[in-house]
Amino acid sequence: MLSRQLGTKLLAYDTPFYLYDTALLRQTLESVVYESQRYDYKVHYAIKANYDKRLLSIIREYGLGIDCASGNELRTAIEAGFDPKGIVYAGVGKRDKELRYAIECGILAINCESIEELEVVDALAAEAGRKVDVALRINPDIDPKTNHCIDTGQADSKFGISYEEVLENADRIKGLGNLNITGLHLHIGSQIRELHVFENMCNKVNVIVRNLDSLGFGIRFVDVGGGLGINYDMPENEPIPNFASLFSIVHNHLDVGGREVHFEFGRSIVGQCGELITKVLFNKTTATGRRLLIVDASMTELIRPALYGAYHNIENITSEEEATKKYTVVGTACESTDVFDENVGLRISARGDLLTVKSAGAYGMSMASRYNLHDLPGAVYGDEIAK
């Protein structure tokens, strides 16, 4: 972890802040590019994971496309220099002005998530005098074996159009004259660590593609979404996710002829490259004996523990004590759920020490809020600090 190497050097910065290991980001990108090229797979970066401008400019250097989920994400990607022809746009509820903007930009595909959305895009395309490329986001009904808060491809989920509905409405969809239905899209969930889930996904996709073919859809590409999980428990053991295994599973099980295969990775690209650095403010013990370590970050900088009960490994990076104690690490927000973790073994921690909350590069800064009028956290980049 970069913060371990930097240690007390980080005391020079105003906390809390995100520390980004740009060298690790580059290695991760090299890995995903190298492994994907073996099969000619196309990789998009899911910008919702982190839209930091410096990180985006590095990601762009490696030729990835973008997956976005709002008009503002689309605009941010375009301003960062990404080619609209490599951008896909999903989301259950796109506003008319967002759809108009996407149509105007001429992106690779608007991934439509309901029949009604397809009809609205068709009407907006007519209004713009264009034919618009869209992908059908289908809900494949797969259990991704992950935290229920972040699964997205089960039958009762709000995401995607049910497969049955697509089959029943095939003629209606094909009759929308201002649309080119060029792609099939699905995304089954996030932080998937049981890779055999992707095998089930491929088997479903094979059936869907065969049926869409027989119904006369001219699908050119299949976008299987993101979801590859990272190692939150021991990030040091697995700083770069195992893209090779996922690609090899997909290569062995997906049977979609010569169609392009696309992925949309968020967490696996940036997750391990970011740490939240926070300073210890106070120690105190509750009447029940719970030893609290109060730090200057909170759920407003990193909401994942409070929102999903997500685990992030925490370490004291400046303490010179050998002995450890168990602490409950809590933040400054006026919320009882503002707890980073319970019973964490840390080197004895005192006011002014720095802690790192690891694996926070994805869905950390991008989900930060200004609750309690906290300032948004700053960012420090590894390549700007002399080691």
**Which residues contact ligand LLP by CB under 6 A?**
46, 49, 67, 90, 150, 187, 190-191, 225-228, 264-268, 304, 362-363
349 Cα distance to chain centroid: 32
Cβ proximity to ligand LLP, 254 vs 317, nearer residue: 254
Nearer to ligand LLP, 52 or 264 (CB): 264
Q: Where are the alpha helices (DSSP H) in the chain?
A: 2-6, 22-37, 53-61, 71-79, 96-105, 115-128, 163-168, 170-174, 196-214, 243-253, 267-270, 304-308
Determine if the peptide bond prior to 16 is cis (ω within 30°): yes
Q: Residue 303 CB, nearest distance to ligand LLP (Å)?
A: 8
Position 146, amino acid: T
Instruction: CB nearer to ligand LLP: give 150 or 299.
Output: 150
Please name the helix (run of DSSP H) or strand (run of DSSP E) that holds residue 297, with its range, or none. none
Q: What span, in angstroms and rounded, lies between the C-alpha atoms of 62 and 29?
A: 7
The least distance separating ligand LLP from the CB of residue 12, rounded to whole angstroms, comes to 29
CA atoms within 13 A on the CB side of 131: 6
Q: Which is nearer to ligand LLP, 346 or 365 (CB)?
A: 365
Q: Smallest distance from the beta carbon of 363 to ligand LLP, in angstroms?
A: 3
Based on its alpha-carbon atoms, the radius of gyration of the chain, rounded to whole angstroms, reads 22
Query: Which ranges of 267-354 would DSSP assign to H, the alpha helix?
Result: 267-270, 304-308
Shortest distance (Å) from residue 271 CB to ligand LLP: 8
| Residues 102, 88: Cα–Cα separation, whole Å | 9
**CA-based nearest residue to 162, from 186, 146, 180:** 186
Q: Which is nearer to ligand LLP, 225 or 382 (CB)?
A: 225
Q: Is 120 exposed, middle or buried (0-12, 13-18, 19+ CB in 10 A)?
A: middle
Coil, helix or strand for 341?
strand
| 203, 253 contact by CB (below 8 A) | yes
Q: How far is the CB of 359 from ligand LLP (least distance, A)?
A: 10
Cβ at position 173, least distance to ligand LLP in Å: 20
Least Å distance, CB 18 to ligand LLP, is 14
CB of 278 within 8 A of CB of 300?
no
Judged by CB, which is closer to ligand LLP: 166, or 192?
192
The neighbouring-strand residues paired with 202 are none
The residue (of 228 and 333) whose beta carbon lies closer to ligand LLP is 228
Shortest distance (Å) from residue 193 CB to ligand LLP: 11
CB of 129 vs ligand LLP, minimal distance in Å: 29
Q: How far apart are CA 256 and CA 261, in angstroms?
A: 9
Looking at beta carbons only, is 187 or 358 nearer to ligand LLP? Answer: 187
Residues in the chain: 387
Q: Cβ–Cβ contacts within 10 Å for residue 110, how many?
A: 30
Tokens 């005192």, located at residue: 350
- Please, what is the minimum distance in Å from the beta carbon of residue 238 to ligand LLP? 15
| C-alpha atoms less than 13 angstroms from C-alpha of 79 in its C-beta half-sphere | 11
**Structural element, H or E, at residue 88:** strand 87-89
Cβ closest to ligand LLP, residue 232 vs residue 327: 232
Whichever of 13 and 308 has its CB closer to ligand LLP, that residue is 308
Helix orientation angle between 96-105 and 115-128, rounded to the nearest 10 degrees: 60
